[in-house]
Amino acid sequence: MVLRTVVISLVLGLTIWLASLDGNATAPAQLFLIGIVVVTYASTIVYALLLRRGVDPERLVWPQLGGDLVITTALVYVTGGAQSAYTFFYALSVVGAGAVRFRRGALVIGALSVALMLAVGLAAWTRLLPLPTLARVEPWTATAADLARQLGLNLGALAGVTVLSYIFGRELQETSASLASQRQVAADLLALNRDIVRSLSSGLVTVDLEGRVLTINQAAADMLGNGAARSPGKPVGALLPGIDERLRKLTPGGTLRRSDLTLPGPEARVLGISVSPLRGDNDTVIGRVVNFQDLTELRTLEETMRRAERLATVGQLAAGVAHEIRNPLASISGSIELLGQAPRVSEDDKALMAIVVREIERLDQLINELLEYANPRPRTLVRFDLLSVISEVVQVMRQDKSRGEVRLETELPDEALELTADPGQLRQVLWNLCRNAAEAASGAVGGAVVTVRARGDAIGVTLEVEDNGPGIAAENLPRIFDPFFTTKRRGTGLGLATSHAIVTEHGGTVDVRSEPGRGTRFVVRLPHAAARKAETG
């Protein structure tokens, strides 16, 4: 369409201009040439509009080829018939037909062109149609011999063009078929590659040698979230903080295997990453392939198992030591009481004895906590509403002024949160968490605030205790559930350890989320009775 418009514009535009310079050119002939140009433009606009409306281009090929033959025939007639300088337009139509309709198009349009040229040559010579012609063109004045010679030359040239177009169309058709086959194979391979990458359960990111993201698969976008799918073109460090430093340490063809990458944030995630070179043509390295999996749950499980092993060892040791210490403590306590009843004991001695008794009581309390941690009482499983336990603990905490002014807030649902568990042990867990939160929040700017939340879902119940204290240092987070680990001046370090053991026994989990200066939140997840029963058999 573009080619025919350009040719008509240049050739006929030049003809009209030359005719206007010739004083002998008739006005009707010039108007007829202008009409041909207008018809060509109008038909091109119509075809373009039909294409934009979604008409199949295949349906427009033959009408356009036929219209071109009609326009060429009219042009040749008014410009001299067999003597016209524009008979080459037939050849252009034949070539165009061979290009878009291959062998069949070349034969059909070639045959029609030969027939139309012969007809228009005879019609112009016999002045069959009263059409306007240019003043200098008088085909009827030519002799029959001149007409035959001119038609022969034109028809021979046109036949030659038709044969060449036929050959060209055949080659083009075979090439198009081969190209279509290769294109289909490439499309199938591309679709297969896309399906494989999309179906991977692990994240896959490709980057160039400068560290810019090239592609990212769906699994990586789901794991990273926050618009990760729109990351191509951005630095890989913005997508995976910390990985750019490791990539800089690698040579262009270097690899990285089984390395953990911890993503920062309130809920830190651990990714197991592998890096391999991305190779292009000639086996040249054009970037890197970063493959990773979310190992957060696995690392959490490993840490839980290690903690359980430590707790079991410490528990056995604590039980033995507690029993050995309790008997001497009882003897010491009895002896101090007898000494305190002696008639000649001074007030200073009584004060010292009172200190000894108080410390013995504190040791006894510690021993009780050790025994409770090492040998917890059997669970008494009943079905109850966790909201009632939360209400009791919150009410007692609000009345306890020994820890200063602490504002205790609750965010509880309206519906019941029923569990099959030991309410006494869960009450102890909640009490320990609330007590630690109140102690941690004491002295906070704006007053200490402890918030207790609870919600239920299809899996179980989630209980949260959050404070607005200074938070827990990052180096202390892995050890907060270890026995005897505490940052408080008079703490024993057994409260959180005991709470963790109770929740674990109930088939639940305890997580802590803390940032220095932004408080701490403990999250306890407890399964429903059915889920826990399935786990315990």
CB 460 within 8 A of CB 525: yes
Cα–Cα distance for residue pair 504/536, rounded to 1 Å: 12
What does the pLDDT read at residue 461? 92
Task: Select 299-374's CATH number: 1.10.287, 1.10.3470, 3.30.460, 1.25.40.
Answer: 1.10.287
- b/e sequence 120-152, b meaning 16+ C-beta within 10 Å: bbebbbeeeeeeebbeebebeebeeeebeebbe
The CATH code belonging to domain 200-294 is 3.30.450.20
Please state, in angstroms and rounded to a whole number, the distance separating the CA atoms of residues 521 and 510.
10
Question: In this predicted structure, what is the pLDDT of residue 451?
Answer: 92
What pLDDT is stored for residue 531 in this prediction? 39
> Is there a common fold for 299-374 and 382-536?
no
pLDDT at residue 530, as a whole number: 35
Compute mean pLDDT per 10 residues along the chain, 537 residues long, and list them: 76 73 67 81 85 84 85 81 78 78 80 86 80 62 74 73 72 76 80 76 86 85 75 82 84 83 75 88 85 83 73 68 71 78 76 80 72 65 89 85 78 89 88 87 80 90 90 81 70 76 86 85 82 40
Edge-to-edge strand ranges of the sheet holding 406-411 = 406-411, 448-456, 460-467, 520-527, 509-514
If you classify domain 382-536 with CATH, what class do you get? alpha beta
Residues with Cβ within 8 Å of 173's Cβ and at least 6 positions away in sequence, in order, are 102, 103
Q: Is the pTM of this model over 0.75?
A: no
DSSP for residue 212: B
Tokens of 329: 């403590």
Provide the residue ranges of all domains of the chain, joining segments of one domain with +.
Answer: 2-180, 200-294, 299-374, 382-536
Query: Using CA atoms, how far apart are residues 465 and 161, in angstroms rounded to an integer?
Result: 90
Q: From CA 494, how far away is CA 480, in angstroms rounded?
A: 10
For every residue of 287-329, DSSP letters joined together read EEEEEEEE-HHHHHHHHHHHHHHHHHHHHHHHHHHHHHHHHHH
Quote the pLDDT of residue 319.
67
CB 418 within 8 A of CB 376: no
